[in-house]
Amino acid sequence: MITHYSFGKVIIDKKEYTADLIVFPDSISPSWWRKEGHGLCLEDLSEVLKKDIKYLVVGTGAYGRMKVSESLIAELKAKGIETYVMETDKAISLFNQFLGEGKKVAGAFHLTC
């Protein structure tokens, strides 16, 4: 569970992260970098595609500046991954809810803008 989010920072299991990251039920991929910074592409999600994930929650930043195209959402759906895209605070709440329900979820979170 993610216990805290504020601009540029999350806390998971009492550890603070200050860079974008991908969170899985059993691990964390810290310092997540994207090919196009504020744009998300399939290549950026290679770690997600390697795992048995059914739900992906994408946090687009505090102000929603990271963009996720409808074509990427469709590509992920074709791979069996239902994708939810929203500002990071709302995305973290949904991720925690899915995690609490035992769903196979990953969260890809842009922590700043």
Tens digits of residue pLDDT in 54-112: 999 999 999 999 999 999 999 999 999 999 999 999 999 999 999 999 999 999 999 99
Q: Tell me the pLDDT tens digit for each residue of 67-81.
A: 999 999 999 999 999
Domain containing residue 35: 2-109
Dihedral sign from CA coordinates of 87, 32, 14, 6: negative
Q: Is the pTM above the cut of 0.85?
A: yes
Domain containing 59 — which CATH number? Answer: 3.40.1230.10
How many degrees, rounded to 5, is the angle at CA 49 between CA 34 and CA 92? 65
In the chain, the number of structural domains is: 1
